[in-house]
Amino acid sequence: MHIRNSASISAEFSNASLFCKPWFLRRAAGCGVALLMAAGAQAQEVTLKIAHFLPSAAPTQQRVLQPWCDDLKKASGGRINCQFFPAMQLGGTPAQLADQVKNGVADVVWTGPGYSAGRFPAIEAFELPFMVKDATSSSRALWQYYQQNAQPEFAAYKVLAFHTDGGQAVHTAKKPVKGLTGFTGLKLRTSTRLGAKTLAALGGAPVAMPPAQVTEAISKGVVDGALGAWELVFPTKLSEVTKFHAQPAPGVAHPTATVLTVLMNKQKYDALSADLKAVVDKYSGEPLVERFGAVFDDEAAKARKKVGEIGNQLSTFSATEVAAMRVATASVEEEWAKQVGEKGLDGRKLINAARQLTGTAAGK
């Protein structure tokens, strides 16, 4: 946080106070103006350090976070600025971003709560199998779900937004995935523990690694491909090492998805002046959720079109194949309900709430 030079401020207040001495009280109007001018000199100026795990060219920064920062700057009269630290430039791993913002290493982070396995159990419900159909509708639903069911586990933060990646497609290098049996034996990168459990239930072998390492791992044959959002495909050059892509039909929930969030250091937010807090609040929450949803769906559509243009193969799981996958992954949901129950949460209630909000109950 950057405030104007304290010495100059003190001098301005000292000068202003001369007009407010008893012998100048008759000049009350001048006194008031002087004090207002001195108060203006104290106007808080803030630079927010924003960290995330993708390259700076990724749509998340270019189409969501940068425009959000532009809005903050304009609405604050230039008093809120942003400095980006993409691709983990502040050090650490994506799993450590939640701690970096909590401890003040960064002021704002974009990260996945699920990268810190088991730390935020209630929000994980949206990463259960076949919960997410697209980014826009599921992000709206997730924001509601957070407000109703998951606020306590994020009490240490100022939560600016929640959204989903819109559902993850299957991206493979050497052969297409066709139906349930197509997953058997495939080593695929997964982003969360529930994604790993879902893949295992489908017969695949999950491998955890940061997004930045996926392309190289596929090119070297360490993994056969990845479960990942379309938004990642071109920024991480996944398109260069995978030739086959598969997903459910439009409007059908995906096997797995990632919950993502924008978190702000609570002390940094609390230290803002009331007018700057109002600016942050105005452009965060629902407006930021909507922006994420729209951009992620748009980027998914563009990426699907582009992979076809470069000669990659895009296939769609049939309704019968999806039904078989849902049966195969039902155990993941039951196990999750039991595990969060041991942490004092009503897992079945949370699942029902999430499925009602997303419209993904059995048969939908």
Q: Given this model, what pLDDT does residue 364 score?
A: 56
What average pLDDT score do residues 231-237 get?
Answer: 92
Would you tell me which CATH number, out of the four given (3.20.20.105, 3.30.1330.10, 3.40.190.170, 3.40.190.10), belongs to the domain 48-121+135-164+259-297? 3.40.190.170
Alpha-carbon gap, residue 149 to 239, rounded angstroms = 37
Alpha-carbon gap, residue 345 to 124, rounded angstroms = 12
Q: What are the Cα distances from residue 102, in Å, to 109, 146, 266?
A: 10, 19, 7
> pLDDT band for position 133 (50/70/90)?
very high
What average pLDDT score do residues 127-136 get?
Answer: 98
Q: Given this model, what pLDDT does residue 361 score?
A: 86
Indicate the range of 16-30, 190-204, 235-249, 294-308 predicted with least confidence: 16-30
> pLDDT band for position 5 (50/70/90)?
very low
Q: Given this model, what pLDDT does residue 138 score?
A: 98
> pLDDT band for position 43 (50/70/90)?
confident
**CA nearest 158: which of 49, 288, 264?**
264
**CA nearest 359: which of 132, 147, 149?**
132
28 backbone dihedrals φ, ψ, rounded to 5°: -60, -40
Same fold? 48-121+135-164+259-297, 169-257+301-358: yes
Q: What tokens were used for 254?
A: 């995906």
Collect all residues with Cβ–Cβ distance below 8 Å to 240 and sequence separation of at least 6: 215
Letter for the amino acid at 2?
H
pLDDT at 40 over 60: no
Helices (H), the chain: 6-18, 28-41, 59, 66-75, 97-102, 135-145, 193-201, 211-219, 230-233, 266-270, 274-283, 286-309, 319-328, 330-341, 347-358
Q: How many CB atoms lie within 10 A of CB 144?
A: 16
Question: What mean pLDDT is reported for the chain?
Answer: 90
Domain 169-257+301-358 fold is D-Maltodextrin-Binding Protein; domain 2 (3.40.190)
**DSSP calls for 68-123:** HHHHHHHHTTT-EEEEEE-TTTTSS-GGGHHHHHHTTS-SEEEE-GGGSTTTSTGG
Q: Is 355 left (phi over 0), alpha (psi -120 to 50) or beta?
A: alpha
Q: Which residue has the tokens 């903050």?
A: 72
User: Hey, is 244 helix, strand or coil?
Assistant: strand
pLDDT at 48 over 50: yes
Q: Give me the residue spans of the domains in the chain.
A: 6-41, 48-121+135-164+259-297, 169-257+301-358
In tens, the pLDDT along 63-121 reads 999 999 999 999 999 999 999 999 999 999 999 999 999 999 999 999 999 999 889 99
> pLDDT band for position 42 (50/70/90)?
low
Q: Is the pTM of this model over 0.85?
A: yes
What average pLDDT score do residues 217-237 get?
Answer: 95
In tens, the pLDDT along 289-322 reads 999 999 999 999 999 999 999 999 999 999 999 9
**98 and 119 in contact (C-beta within 8 Å)?**
yes
